[in-house]
Amino acid sequence: MSTLTQSMVGMSSLLEVLDAVDAQPEHAELRARSYELLGGLTGRTVVDVGCGAGRAVAELAERGAHAVGIDLDPEMIAVAQQRWPASEFHLGAACELPLETGSVSGYRADKTLHLVDDPARALAEARRVLAPGGRAVLLGQDWDTIVIDSDEPETTRRLIHAKADTLPSPRAARGHRNLLLDAGFTDPVVEVHTSVLTGDTALGLLHRITDDQRWLAEQTERARTDRIFVAVPVFLVAAKR
């Protein structure tokens, strides 16, 4: 298999997992809550950083915002442009946004900061592009706190921590509030929402955590008998510029 083909297969797998998770009713409610915390949207410019396949950008536009999606992955941007041709997407990094200073009223980053080497720098950039009074909203899971029902709890803990250690900032979500305060934001609001995954959606996530076939065999059997259970706490934090 060529490197390009491997990349396409990997992206397809990731998109399938992301689409399945985003389709869960509680995730739709969580996205809606994040839009509420951005404040009034009609006529305002909002940037969604790490926009992925662009669902949130389209939903923000439906709510009256001028929504702009930014992602570091050109393949994700291509998918977003294909899915939502009426929306605006740009290639860019969280720490170097292709936006003018003070040009947006809302900043949103969902499942993004754990992929950034320097979350503090990313939030300094968020503050730069936000106009005074604008709001930042961060969502993300802490990769050390994923809950998985298993007959092998010690192995499960080891695999979760091993996956976390492959990410640039796996515990960024638990630090969202302090990161915003350190960046000069005020009036933080903190919420914790727990996503419960079962069936093939849960199994798809676990396949992205590990390739330990012996451990996955148990989880596959759990999925077959409707006994697989994964809970992911999601931290939602909003603050004002």
Q: What is the pLDDT of residues 67-111, one digit of tens each?
A: 999 999 999 999 999 999 999 999 999 999 999 999 999 999 999
At 16 the pLDDT is 78
Task: Select the CATH number that applies to the domain covering 22-240 from these four: 1.20.950.20, 3.60.150.10, 3.40.50.150, 3.40.50.300.
Answer: 3.40.50.150
Domain ranges of the chain: 22-240
pLDDT per position as a tens digit, 180-202: 999 999 999 999 999 899 999 89
**How far is the C-alpha of 46 from the C-alpha of 32, rounded, in Å?**
14
pLDDT per position as a tens digit, 222-236: 999 999 999 999 999
Q: Which long-range contacts (CB under 8 A, 24 or more apart) does 161-169 make?
A: 162/210, 163/209, 163/210, 167/114, 167/115, 167/143, 168/114, 168/115, 168/116, 168/117, 169/113, 169/114, 169/115, 169/116, 169/117, 169/118, 169/119
pLDDT per position as a tens digit, 119-149: 999 999 999 999 999 999 999 999 999 999 9
At 12 the pLDDT is 57
**Both structure tokens of 133:** 């009074």
Residue 88 backbone phi and psi in degrees, to 5: -105, 125
**93: DSSP letter:** B
* β-bridge pairing 147-148 and 88-91: unpaired
Q: 168 with 117: CB under 8 angstroms?
A: yes
What pTM does this model have? Answer: 0.88
Residues 6+ apart with CB under 8 A from 122: 49, 94, 95, 109, 112, 113, 116
Looking at the DSSP bridge assignments, the partners of residue 233 are 194
Angle in degrees, 0-180, between the axes of helices 25-37 and 55-62, rounded to the nearest 10 = 60
